[in-house]
Structure 1
Amino acid sequence: MLILYRISIKAYYFGIWLASFFNPKARLWIEGRRKQKLVTLNESIWFHFASLGEFEQGRPVLEKLKAENPAVKTVVTFFSPSGYEIRKNTPLADYVYYLPLDTRRNAKLFISTIKPKIAIFTKYEYWYFYMDELYQREIPLYLISAIYRPQQIFFRSYGGFYRNMLLLTQHFFVQDEVSKKLLADINIDEATVSGDTRFDRVWENAQTVKPLETIAAFKGESKVFIAGSTWPTDEDLITNLILIYPKWKFIIAPHEISKEKISNLLEKLPAEKTVRYSEIPTDSNLLHQKQVLVIDNIGLLSRLYQYGTIAYIGGGFGAGIHNTLEAAAFGLPVIFGPIYQKFKEAQDLITLNAGFSIVNEASLENIVYQLINDDNFYFRASANAKNYTQQNTGATNKIINYIRSHQTF
């Protein structure tokens, strides 16, 4: 099985290399790794994240460990350009790198260079050679905010190789009891139900968020429908709401903001009522006359929700929905597409009548109508969303307390 794993890693690299000739993101993936130079350290704390979402998820733990151990260098690695390019200058890390391809040679070189005292991976990252190298060197590897489902390969009859990868982890901090039991069923008992660190992150953001004067000017006294991390299918559904509710304001923050993606989105929207964030007029009266604001930069979404009334979260017609908790923390009822089953928080929000899954334009219009026209329905959904977020905070402290008791720096 290890041979197949090696082949799959090489095949993946070859596929990205081919794509890099015409895909900018793939080109960043290749060139970023080729050009980076590692700095040799005496010791470090190593955090690895797949992408930007996982960085935000693990950020509370990163912040606390760095604050408590300022003399120890912090190294952050990303697998994806969408994480690296946005957070490569984060003050929370002394060094930020792309994770080199998972080969035995790369793992030995990388770990020998940064010399981690501990390594912390977030949620879904499993790289055999890095995990094995840490294990062989007796460097503790902690997996935080992990969540498992019976359908995953670890729990299949043919998943022995991947089950063995889990054994290379020192301790698991899982989101729920189901995950802990699944690990116990394959004889892994080093697991703590800590919850999801995203709750800590989004709740802190909601309590300390800084205002955005231009967004406040755009909003005025209107109610605001915010569509975050949208894909074209999501945007196709949302556009008709703009006509149905002319007194509402709409903010659309696409998941991808390339020139082509933004142009395609703008073509779907009423030109005379729409403005791009990068082209906001300085005259607040002119801005307030617009009904639709398209966000064409990265990093604003978590602050935008403070101005929202209802949120739509994109991705539910593709690989899966994006972050619903950022909006829920502000007390926004959240709407999303039908592909949400891998996300515990989405299922919980649905159970609480604070989250709503839609399958087409008609179902979207139906739930929006209820939220707008039934005050009791809306306020219950809003309160449940906010309370759910607050009540599930605390994962960061559980993780930090465990690491403190098992590790000295």
Structure 2
Amino acid sequence: MRKFWFITYNYLFVPLMGVFFYTGFLFSAKIRNGINGRRNIFKKLKNSVSYLNPNKRTILIHSSSLGEFQQALPLINEIDTSEYNIVFSFFSPSGYNNARINLKNSFKTYLPFDSVSNVKKFLSLINPDKVIFMRYDLWYNFLYECKKRNIPTILANARYDVKDITWSFPLSRSFKVTLYNMIDKIFVIDRDDEKNFKKLLNSDVKLTGDSKFERVLQASKNINTLNILPSTVIANKRIFVIGSSWKDDEDILLPVVNKLMKFHPDLLTVLVPHEPKEKKIERIEYRITNEFENLKSIRFSELHKFSNNNLIIVDKIGYLMKLYSLAYFSYVGGGFRTGLHNIVEPAVYNMPIFFSNRVTNSDDSEVLLNAGCGVLVDDQRKLYKDISEILYYPEVRNSIASKCELIFENSLGIAKKIISNI
């Protein structure tokens, strides 16, 4: 089937993908940035490769975007850089533009469009001894050429998504089985994934766990929270951090927080909007001033003017995880419309974590709900009741918070286990 799908993919799917991307170039800034970023990719790549140590072997680590790159960080810490160059490839601009590479004998690049000629040029220039894919973003021609060249391929943090309908239809399942069977080793995050993959594949499938949790645990230990909020602002306060909020989240949360302030004057809310652009901040400020009599807001950048404000609007980026470390409880946004943002980060600081999951894009939501430290938000009435309970009864809050520890208790050593097996 490998040859059949190779022909079908290149004569049908590759041309269709080309049409999709170049049509998207006209309408999508993200696609446009990705295509522009790949201009002269092989000229740039040739120059970057010249800085690698020719006496070392090379590992290529591919991540779709920034989130997957962050999952790779614990693995990178386990790689012996005295023996290996490391090349990082990305599909999306969010990964390529925001990933910080501080290693010697290392660089980042876009993964080129998955045509046969592009893949051959790419692999010939980098000449990797191993290729590690993080979680997903597998490309047929890339894997096919790696197989031809006997380059070992590894998939880390793999998930078998039972909701993915492409596993259900015979034709699409045949394609995916062929694709995954070209991977030499697949490291999965739980027993269900292990069982489902082993049922379908001939690849070497091993249960290791999710390095994402190890990455968050490591990051929490290294983070500097000193004076993130002045002591005069947070003294005797219980802090509610609302992370990565969208308008849909704010429509539910702001009326609830306004009502809570009548009975809990020690509550300090820190609102961190997703992409805090000026117009968005101004819209939130206008609503607070005109709709909510119990709320008095101030911008994070203007805390030197603090005067008994009870809601801080964070108008800068890069502070969210530090703010979570101060929280009594938190809410993570995105679940009403676009898809849930990172709910593992607040969990590492042991607190109740509220979120909506109407757009089910996150495996982590199930992990938190099963552990007992995640609280689903459906409407204002239930949210008010649930928050009131943890504010009136600290023992309820502490009982929920303690269950976060279950998520991380087996996370240390996952990366070491993966690297030692490749």
Change (3 A) 1:307 1:27: same
Distance, in Å, in 2 between the alignment partners of 1:140 and 1:333 is 42
Residue in structure 1 matched with residue 27 of structure 2 by the alignment = 19
Query: How far does the alpha carbon of each residue in 1:57-94 deviate from its partner, in whole angstroms, 9 at most, with x for none?
Result: 121112221xx22352211122222222222x421472
* Aligned with residue 188 of structure 2, among 157, 174, 177: 174
Shift of residue 274 of structure 1? 2.6
Give the aligned partner of residue 56 of structure 1: 70
| Residue identity opposite 2:153 in structure 1 | L
Is residue 149 of structure 1 aligned with residue 161 of structure 2? yes
Q: What is the aligned partner in structure 2 of residue 227 from structure 1?
A: 242
Q: Could you tell me which residue of structure 2 aligns to residue 158 of structure 1?
A: 171
1-structure distance, mates of 2:144, 2:61: 16
Select 1:291's aligned residue among 277, 300, 310. Answer: 310
**Quick one: which of 248, 256, 259 aligns to 1:241?**
256
What's the counterpart of residue 330 of structure 2?
311
* Count of equivalent residues: 393
Q: Distance in 2 between matches of 1:81 and 1:148?
A: 26
Counting aligned pairs with the same residue, the percent is: 26
- Shift of the 240–183 alpha-carbon distance from structure 1 to 2, 3 Å rule, reads same
Describe the SS at the equivalent of 1:138.
Answer: coil
User: Contact 2:184–2:203 (CA<8 Å) still a contact in 1?
Assistant: no
With over 3 angstroms needed to count, the CA separation of the structure-2 counterparts of 1:164 and 1:267, relative to structure 1, is farther
Conservation of the 8 A alpha-carbon contact between 1:224 and 1:250:
yes
Query: Secondary structure, in 3 states, of the residue corresponding to 1:59?
Result: helix
Distance in 1 (alpha carbons) for counterparts of 2:369 and 2:275: 27
Superposed CA offset, 1:154-173 (max 9, x none): 45322211221101111111
Q: Sort the Cα spacing of 1:193 and 1:342 in 2 relative to 1 into closer, same or farther, 3 A.
A: farther
| Residue 102 (structure 2) aligned to one of 91, 95, 100 | 91
Q: Kindly tell me: are residues 264 and 86 of structure 1, through their superposed partners in 2, closer, same or farther at Cα, counting changes over 3 Å? A: farther
Deviation (angstroms), 1:310: 0.9
CA deviation after TM superposition for structure 1 residue 133, in Å: 1.8
Question: What is the CA distance between 1:131 and its match in structure 2?
Answer: 1.8
Provide the alpha-carbon RMSD of the alignment: 2.3
3-state SS of paired residue (1:213): coil
CA 1:99/1:297 → structure 2, altered by over 3 Å: closer, same or farther?
farther
After TM superposition, the structure 1 stretch with the greater mean CA deviation from structure 2, 108-117 or 246-255, is: 246-255
Matched AA of 2:187:
F
Larger Rg: 2
Q: Return closer, same or farther for 1:185/1:34 CA change in 2, 3 Å cut-off.
A: same
1:132 aligned residue (139, 144, 150)? 144
Deviation readout 1:99-138 (Å, 9 max, x if unpaired):
2222222211212111211111111211112222222211
The letter of the residue matching 2:248 is T
**8 Å contact kept, 1:341–1:347:** no
Q: Distance in 2 between the 1:29 and 1:363 partners?
A: 42
After the TM superposition, which of the residue ranges 371-380 and 256-265 deviates more from structure 2? 256-265
Q: What SS class does the counterpart of residue 116 from structure 1 fall into? A: coil
Corresponding residue number in structure 1 for 2:34: 29
Q: Does 1:193 align with 2:207?
A: yes
Superposition deviation, residue 341 in structure 1: 4.8
**Deviation readout 1:162-186 (Å, 9 max, x if unpaired):** 2211011111110111111111111
Shift of 1:334: 0.9
With normalisation by structure 1, the TM-score equals 0.88
Q: For the residues of structure 2 that align with 1:288 and 1:211, how far apart are their CA atoms?
A: 22
Code of the residue aligned with 1:12 in structure 2: it is: F
Residue 296 of structure 2 is aligned to residue 273 of structure 1: yes
- Residue in structure 2 matched with residue 348 of structure 1 by the alignment: 367
- AA aligned to 2:298 is V
Residue 409 of structure 2 is matched in structure 1 by: 390
Helix, strand or coil at the partner of 1:356: strand
Q: What SS does structure 1 have at the residue aligned with 2:242? A: strand
Amino acid at match of 1:156: F
Structure 1 unpaired stretches of 5+: 404-409
1:209 to 212, 216, 223: 223
Alpha carbons of structure 1 residues 363 and 91: separation in structure 2 relative to 1, 3 Å: same
- Relative distance call for 1:387 and 1:34 in structure 2 (3 A) is same
Structure 1 residues 97-106 or 120-129, which shifts more? 97-106
CA distance in 2, matches of 1:141, 1:288: 57
1:262 CA drift (Å)? 3.8
Structure 2 residue 81 is matched with structure 1 residue 73? no
CA distance in 1, matches of 2:273, 2:103: 26
Shift of 1:342: 5.0
SS at the partner of 1:391?
coil
- Alpha-carbon shift at residue 188 of structure 1 (Å): 3.0
Tell me by how many angstroms 1:399 deviates: 0.5
Correspondences of 1:363-378 after superposition (within 5 Å): 363-378=382-397
| CA deviation vs aligned residue, 1:135-157 (integer Å, no higher than 9, x gap) | 22111111111111233224532
Task: State how far apart, in whole Å, the 2-side matches of 1:270 and 1:121 are.
Answer: 48
Please give the TM-score of this superposition, normalised by the length of structure 2. Answer: 0.86
Cα distance change on mapping 1:373 and 1:10 into 2, 3 Å? same
Q: State how far apart, in whole Å, the 2-side matches of 1:176 and 1:322 are.
A: 21
Does 2:269 align with 1:250? yes
